[in-house]
Amino acid sequence: MPDETEILAALFAASLGLTEGSSPQGSAAAREDLWHGFLSRLAAATQAESALLRLGGPGRPVTGWQVGADWDGPAEAVVERMRSGRVYSQIDLPGAGPSGPPLRALRWRLGREARVLLALRRRGEDFRAVDGLQLSNLIPYLGVVLGGWRQLEEERARALLDGQIAAALGGGWILFAPSGQVSAMAEGLEARLQALAGLGLRADGRLSLPEEAAQALRLALAAVAQQPGTVRQVVLSTEPRVELRLGLQTVGGELQLTGRLRHALSARALPPDRLARAFGLSRSEARLAACLCDGLSLAEAAQVLGWTLETARSTSKQIYARMEVSGQPGVLRRMLESGVWLD
């Protein structure tokens, strides 16, 4: 049976999203499992049939976890009337009737409006005094733990949004060890580089690059490591273009060899319907506009699209009129300056 130390350890691990040997950037599913693990330990220690943890408040979506037999816990109207920091039984819940299955419930205030409900339920005999004490012992930690968890979740959400925008604009980052091995990289970047330019990770953890690019990266890593303040630019691929700006940067409290990466964008990879809506074009016009944005001449675009050169010329004039530009450079500028790249 889990003791108080194990329960507290599980609570703190869940709030940080940490499993043994993992980082706080683990998957959402893994972090969910940690909360279930905390509740399972608490239920086992108190011999509860069900255990739940619920966060909510006025105008806020309800977040929660539950283990054991299905149970929604006390109604929100009841929870609103509970005092913060008090452990309730089934007979002294606000508005409770004379009978009901044995339960213990604790409400905690989080910030100005959010509230936390931690509740246990069982069938048969009532909970023991020591079971209620298990909840009472958590009171000094709940505010700190759940406040920290909520802040981490907000930071994760912001980081995810930043990463999505950077990816849509062709950006990313890579952390290197002095040996040239990749120690970390932006989420999804490896798959993007592999699909775009065939650049993956080798079995030894280094980037799989053409020999010329690999040599340039080795020299840049050595120069930056030996001369703090130095920045080196490395072309990892020429077609499509993938460039890396390498320098030293403090990451996680340590100076790290950090590469800021940008790869070429392809307008033809965007959904034509999105381009059409953004610029008031027909679908055919959007397809040609994408080719022009990618640097193809009218003759090259006509060949790619299976059109005659005359059709491409007449369609391009319609595009220029609709986009209010005078030629292909204007199309390129309008598209690159727009938000059409962002999902």
Strands 114-121 and 103-110: antiparallel
Which one of 236, 263, 290 terminates a domain?
263
Assess if residue 165 is contained within a domain: no
Assess if residue 16 is contained within a domain: yes
Assess if residue 343 is contained within a domain: no
Whether residues 16 and 131 share a domain: the answer is: yes
Please name which of 125, 81, 78, 82 lies closest in space to residue 103, comparing C-alpha atoms.
125
Q: Which of these ranges, 26-35, 43-52, 236-245, 279-288, has the smallest mean pLDDT?
A: 26-35
Q: What is the pLDDT of residues 185-236, one digit of tens each?
A: 999 999 999 999 999 999 999 999 999 999 999 999 999 999 888 999 999 9
Which one of 137, 160, 183 terminates a domain?
160
What's the pLDDT score for residue 228? 84
Whether residues 257 and 274 share a domain: the answer is: no
Assess if residue 330 is contained within a domain: yes
| 11: pLDDT strictly greater than 70 | yes
Q: What is the pLDDT of residues 309-322, one digit of tens each?
A: 999 999 999 999 99
Q: Which amino acid is at 98?
A: P
Assess if residue 241 is contained within a domain: yes
Q: What is the pLDDT of residues 125-147, one digit of tens each?
A: 999 999 999 999 999 998 889 88
What's the pLDDT score for residue 20? 55
Whether residues 156 and 174 share a domain: the answer is: no
Structure tokens at 257: 């060899």
Whether residues 69 and 141 share a domain: the answer is: yes
Domain count, the chain: 3
Helical packing angle, 139-168 and 4-16, nearest 10°:
20
CA distance 24 to 18: 5
Which one of 248, 263, 278 terminates a domain?
263
The stretches of 54-205 forming alpha helices (DSSP H) are 76-81, 129-136, 139-168, 189-197
Own/partner long-range contacts of 182-191 (Cβ < 8 Å, ≥24 apart): 182/206, 182/207, 183/256, 186/261, 187/163, 188/163, 189/261
Whether residues 11 and 156 share a domain: the answer is: yes
The stretches of 54-183 forming alpha helices (DSSP H) are 76-81, 129-136, 139-168
What is the mean predicted confidence (pLDDT) over 258-279? Answer: 96
What is the span of the domain harbouring residue 49?
A: 4-160
CA distance to 47, 80, 110, 245, per residue, from 58 (Å): 32, 10, 12, 47
Q: What is the pLDDT of residues 48-74, one digit of tens each?
A: 999 999 987 666 677 889 999 999 898
Assess if residue 111 is contained within a domain: yes
